[in-house]
Amino acid sequence: MKKTVINLLILLVLILTSNVFASVLLTDDFTGDVGANLTTVGWTLHSGTGTPFTITSPGLTYSGYTGSNIGNAATTGGTSDDINKAFSSTNSGSLYYAFLYKPTAASTTSDYGVSFGNAAGASVSGLFGRLHVQRDASNNLRFGIARQTGTVAYTNYVYSLSTTYLIIIKYEFVSGTANDVVSLFVNPTLGGTEPTATVINTVDTSGDATQLISVILRQSANTAGAVIDGIRVGTAWADVAGASMATEPTAQPTNLQFSNVTSTSFDVAFTAASPTAAGYLAIRKSGSAPTTDPTDGTA
């Protein structure tokens, strides 16, 4: 949540806040220069030689989502290039992939454009947790999820072009063969416990992943054109869809008074900010007051 900052001119050390995002494996808010090819900002081409994915402006917004309105965005630009970005290998439990997704064009033939990868760099071969998009004759969209190459489980045709959605893909490793579970969440409630998925695919009989180690952005003749932003990969629901931030306070607390100051602790009294803040973050710095405030949404 956003918190009011109390600047302290006192010879002490930082009070460290807990690492809320301890299991976040990858984030990308596309903060590079507009027009840049994503392969110049940390992504790797593993297939195709066509029009690249590029950074475009503005970024996407979605109320309460940590990756909303930060930096720019990525836009599909053709029918060939497939790219990936690596994170720490995961082969057990659950893995979540969240992102903002604004479809700009879609085919009546279903195809996928976002997934996890079983490898990174130029050696990607297996794509898992595939997000499919398809439109009907009235330009209504449906989303689908597949474990790999098998049967796709779909939503109804209830979504629209040029609308920003929060998409979360969940891949669950299950003991056995060809039985891992993939789930799709569209505009889920943020914060709290994991809600019921929009679609769960338990009918795809294609093979399981031995590991997942990258996120994939893919282009083909039938892949939906889209703007993508705010990528988050984590091993828990809270990593990618944690509680939304509180409203930024409009005033700082006043009448700060410190007592019982030691090298490791102090007591503080103050007049609370109005309107009331959700909480306070005390920053302690040696020699002088801090010159920069913490960044919202960053541990």
Q: What is the pLDDT of residue 49?
A: 79
Pairing outcome for strands 153-154 and 267-271:
unpaired
Q: Which residues contact 87 (CB under 8 A, 6 or more apart)?
A: 25, 26, 213, 214, 215, 233
Looking at residue 31, its amino acid is T
Contact yes or no for 205/125 (Cβ under 8 A)? no
In this predicted structure, what is the pLDDT of residue 212?
97
| pLDDT at residue 279, as a whole number | 73
Could you tell me the domains of the chain?
4-17+246-285 (no CATH), 24-235 (2.60.120.200)
CB 163 within 8 A of CB 61: no
| Residue ranges for the chain with pLDDT beneath 70 | 1-22, 77, 243-249, 278, 295-299
Quick check: pTM over 0.95?
Answer: no
* pLDDT tens for each residue of 222-276: 999 999 999 999 999 999 997 555 566 677 888 888 899 888 888 888 888 877 7
Give which of 223, 195, 186, 220 is closest to 99, Cα–Cα: 186
Per-residue model confidence as pLDDT tens digits over 7-38: 443 333 333 333 344 479 999 999 999 999 99
What is the predicted pLDDT for the residue at 8?
42
